[in-house]
Amino acid sequence: MRAMRGTRFPLCLLTIVLTGASCFPAKPDGVEFRTQDCERVESELAWIYRGIILYEERAGSAPESLPDLVRTGVLESLPSDPWGNPYQYTKPSSATAARVRVYTLGADGMVGGAGINADFGTESLSLD
């Protein structure tokens, strides 16, 4: 398999079906909600998750960290979320790609929150 670089593996090849939950369901007062941020998060989470699956196919297990995807050439680079924060990664011990979680902490970069400050991750997407 080739490394996913630039437009060689376009995002349009991934089918993302939401499970009915909105990316950022509640808009707190005074915070501007941007649909493009939600769409970007969903696309980037799917892109990173697909990289994890490719890594697992090559290495036999999920990566220890997201930078492993770049170091091994699976991804060319790792995006930051729309607010400039790195995406987070949780891998339970001896996990396969199906059990990992990739997520953003939202605009505030802190655990929890509501609206655009809410955490949102791959568990909220249907990634087939």
CATH 3.30.700.10 is right for the domain spanning 33-127: yes
For residues 3 and 23, give the distance between their C-alpha atoms in angstroms, rounded to a whole number.
29
User: According to the model, what pLDDT value does residue 90 have?
Assistant: 92
Neighbours of 72 (CB within 10 A): 15
3-state helix, strand, coil in the chain (%, to 5): 35, 15, 50
pTM exceeding 0.85: no
User: According to the model, what pLDDT value does residue 72 have?
Assistant: 97
SS3 126: strand
Domain ranges for the chain: 33-127
The tens-digit pLDDT sequence of the chain (128 residues) is: 445 544 333 333 333 333 334 465 544 444 455 678 888 999 999 999 999 999 999 999 999 999 999 999 999 999 999 999 999 999 877 666 678 899 999 999 999 988 888 899 988 888 76
| CB neighbour list of residue 119: distance below 8 Å, 6 or more residues apart | 103, 104, 105, 106, 111, 112, 113
